[in-house]
Each structure stands twice: as C-alpha cells, then as structure tokens.
Amino acid sequence: MLVHIKNIVENARKGGYAAGAFNITNFESILGVAQAAVKANSPAIIQVSESAIKYMGLKPITHIVSTVAKNTAAPAPIALHLDHGTSFDAVFECISSGFTSVHIDASSLPLDENINLTKQVVKVAHARKVWVQGEVGAIKGGHGDIRGKIENIPLASVEDVIRFVRETKVDTIAAAVGTAHGVYSNEEIVFSLLKAIRKAVKIPFVLHGSSGVSNSQIKKAIKEGVNIINAGSDLKIAFCQTLIKVCLKNKTETDPRNLLKPTIGAVEKTVIEKMKLFGSAGRIARYV
Ligand code: G3H
Ligand code: ZN
C-alpha cells in the first residue's frame, strides 16, 4: 500500500529499528523492492535519484511505484521519496507529482546557502504536507562505485547540524558521519559524532551510503537511534552481476524477460537481507 513516509518513520522510531530507503533504477528493481517488502513483512521506502528520473521519467516513476505499491505490495507500507534532489525546481516537481518526502541536498554549498535553499523547499513542502530531508557535510563517493578505498571521507560538524536543523525545520536529517556512496573498504561510522548529533538533534537521522558498511556497524548505528538507512549500490551490483551472468549463459536468448526476470529476484534477495539487518522485517503485523 502506498503511505506517507511519516507513517513508516514514526513506526520505526517507536519500534527501535530502521526503515530501508532503497534506490531503484528501473522497473525490475521497483518490483524487487516491492516483492521483498511483502515476503519480509516489512515497510519500505522506494527512493529515486535525479538520474533515475532522467532515465525513466518523473510521471512514469510516480505512477509505476504507486501502482506497484497498491497491487504487488498491497500488504506492505511503501513510501515514495526523492533522494539527493539538487535544485528547488527538481524538488518542486516531485512534490507536485505526489511524493510524500523529498531530500534537498545542498550540502556542497556553504552552510548559509544550504540553509537558505533548504528553507525555501521546507516552506513549499510543508504547505503540501510533504516531509523534507536536509543534509549537512556532503557525503562523498559514487553510487555503484566499487573502487576499493576512498580518500578523505568528510565529516559534518555537530554545531552546523544543530544550526541547520533549528533554522530550516527539516523533518529528517542526513549528515556525513564516515560513510560514503558506493562500496569502499575504509568506510567507518564515527560513532562519537553520530552520538553527539543524535543527542543534540531530535528529528530522525538518515544514514546514507550504507553499502560497504559492515553489518556490525549498521546494527550499532540502529542502536544509536538511526531510523532510516539508504541503500543503493548493493542493489545495483546485485542487478548487474545477475544480468551479466544470465546474458553470458544465454547468448542466443531473444526474449528480454528471460534475461531480466532473475534480476528481480536478485534485487529482492538483497533487499530482504537488508530488511532483516535493519530490523524492519516482520514489522507489518504490528504496523498501525
Ligand atoms: O542516497 C543513497 C544512498 O546513500 C546510497 O548509498 O550506494 O552506498 O548504498 P550506497
Ligand atoms: Zn545518499
């Protein structure tokens, strides 16, 4: 079923677990996430980046996700969210299309400019009852990157996060705490920083860049109160590795569905593992 992200996040807070926000790239990955939510009895946030919108089109994505949520995933709460929106216009289009949550990522701008742009988004979003995620301390890396190590992972300043949240009135906050987008061997959550942010700022914390972070660190982050965890690269990797394997084995196949169907299962399997890790699996029965 299609729900407002607020329902999913408030239940995650009450239950002491994290809801997964899964980046989709195409129809097959939308189906993979939806099927995983049903099989794992878990809520799920389906999130789209600007590049996913460029690939599929905003209207098609909005309609496909909402139809899949209402049908394939009828028993499971699903919310639609914009991930890393970089401009007021891009975010506004998603708000107007029916997203219940948008991320305005102006974290690469100086803090004052980040605050100003985020405030403008909050004003229009809240007037339409849409949640806004803000970001402080740009999170580095590349979605789908598997390059080994990443240099100089930036960290957010606690004072900047406090000022940003107070002035912008965002609903959820993402901040650089040692993770990166992609899979790198040197991603380490700085727990002293995460704890300090969690202590100072009471809105839900969004952990970006979870691919490449060890399961033990993810579990510890949830214990520290992280309620939304973004996962993208691991889904892309599962999709592509499966597709490459199937194509190599079936070089004369002429029906695209026979090549693509296993990719749905691969995304589903990856997402179910994450739902179990995040603690959201099995929560539907108690969902209100
Ligand atoms: O915004 C998307 C996420 O932060 C994805 O990060 O590709 O490392 O899983 P990831
Ligand atoms: Zn991210």
Whether the CB of 187 sits within 6 Å of ligand 1 = no
Beta-carbon count within 10 A of 263 CB: 21
Cβ atoms of residues 91 and 85 within 8 Å: yes
Residue 288 pLDDT more than 70?
no
Active site residues: 83
pLDDT tens profile 158-192:
999 999 999 999 999 999 999 999 999 999 999 99
pLDDT tens profile 41-99:
999 999 999 999 999 999 999 999 999 999 999 999 999 999 999 999 999 999 999 99
- Predicted pLDDT of residue 144: 74
Whether the CB of 232 sits within 6 Å of ligand 1 = yes
Whether the CB of 49 sits within 6 Å of ligand 1 = no
Whether the CB of 153 sits within 6 Å of ligand 1 = no
Name the residues around ion ligand 2, CB cutoff 5 A: 208, 230
pLDDT tens profile 109-164:
999 999 999 999 999 999 999 999 999 998 888 877 887 898 889 999 999 999 99
- Residue whose Cα lies nearest atom 6 of ligand 1: it is 209
261-274: average pLDDT:
98
pLDDT tens profile 190-206:
999 999 999 999 999 99
Residue 287 pLDDT more than 60?
no
- Residue whose Cα lies nearest atom 10 of ligand 1: it is 209
Domain spans in the chain, listed from the N-terminal domain onward: 5-233+266-287
Question: Is this structure's pTM higher than 0.85?
Answer: yes
Quick one: tokens of 116?
Answer: 């100003």
Whether the CB of 100 sits within 6 Å of ligand 1 = no
What residues contact 239, with CB distance under 8 A and at least 6 apart? Answer: 25, 28, 29, 32, 263, 266, 267
Whether the CB of 182 sits within 6 Å of ligand 1 = yes
Alpha-carbon distances, residue 220 vs 11, 17, 59, 72, 278 (angstroms)? 19, 11, 38, 32, 10
C-alpha span between 47 and 85 (Å, rounded)? 11
- Residue whose Cα lies nearest atom 8 of ligand 1: it is 209
Ligand 1 mean position to 256 CA, how many Å? 28
Percentage of the chain exceeding pLDDT 70: 99
CATH topology classification for 5-233+266-287: TIM Barrel (3.20.20)
C-alpha span between 247 and 249 (Å, rounded)? 5
Ligand 1 mean position to 247 CA, how many Å? 27
Ligand 1 mean position to 199 CA, how many Å? 24
Residue 255 pLDDT more than 70?
yes
Ligand 1 mean position to 82 CA, how many Å? 13
- Banded model confidence at residue 235, pLDDT cuts 50, 70, 90: very high
